[in-house]
Structure 1
């Protein structure tokens, strides 16, 4: 799997362009995983700037809950121990006109080894009131909605 670290930065943009040309809509998942001290998991990818909630695309044949469980384990080292809670559906038209993101809360989880070789630069935990510089706008909006009671908007 070491080849992925070398190939993936080049292959990913090509694959995304192909998906956008051949699919009318795409579906992604993101998740809020919270520790007992209130800190939430954020990841920095190798292929996009900023801190983001862990997540990714729902693959063919997957359910959205399965995809969020897979992405949490791969990216953040979080293994779900119960069904995730759906918090909202968001249009992500800035990324692609047919893109939508489902936001879940990881209600129960345990630590596991991350399985993302070459995709994740860093995973760390932050208090919602103290997000790091460079946190992506969509992530900031979701955190403000969930933890600060800011009115929900339907766009990522």
Structure 2
């Protein structure tokens, strides 16, 4: 990837983390898991971060975690919830930011919708669990193994 955001990430991220830490004692993010009819999982590749991720993002002010994951899945993945997503787990993401947590949800029933048209998502796609892209992030790979391959559950993202 040659995106300017990736090149400047090592300089930009510490500034944002400092600002977030100043403004909030804790941060909460959400990620969602959706499978197509063939059992493949939805992954996205951002324009500003390396690797493939489960779709998701931050919980905004006055937004619940469920509202955030429903919004993020529609915006990033083109997945509209037909029924409320199910909470899978709550994980510490302290390696990314002290006191950061991620709530993971499963979308059992959903329908396609147009994803948000912006410059945040470089690619999105459904992938078979035995044919994931090589650069799937460690946290994403860990969650998929826990959910679909009976791997031991880790409290850390």
Match of 1:36 in 2: 37
Deviations 1:76-107 (A, max 9, x none): 00111110000000000010011000000011
Q: In the TM superposition, what is the alpha-carbon distance from 1:57 to its structure 2 partner?
A: 0.3
Structure 1 residues 1-156: aligned runs within 5 Å: 13=13, 15-156=16-157
SS at match of 1:139: helix
CA contact (8 A) 2:17 2:97 kept: no
What runs of 5+ residues in structure 2 fail to find an aligned partner?
Answer: none
Q: Distance in 1 between matches of 2:123 and 2:107?
A: 20
Q: Which moved more, 1:134-143 or 1:124-133?
A: 124-133
Instruction: Specify every segment of 5 or more residues in structure 1 that has no aligned partner in the other structure, as ranges.
Output: 1-5
Pairwise CA RMSD: 1.9
Quote the residue 1:3 is aligned against: none
- Residue 56 of structure 1: SS of its match in structure 2? strand
The TM-score normalised by the length of structure 2 is: 0.89
Runs of 4 or more, structure 1, over 4 Å off, are 12-16
For 2:18 and 2:148, locate their aligned partners in 1 and report how far apart those are by CA, in whole Å: 35
**Equivalent residues, number:** 149
Question: How far apart, CA to CA, are the structure 2 residues paired with 1:108 and 1:124?
Answer: 18
Residue 53 (structure 1) shift: 0.1
What's the offset of the Cα at 1:116? 4.5
* Separation (CA, whole Å) in 2 of partners of 1:15 and 1:72: 24
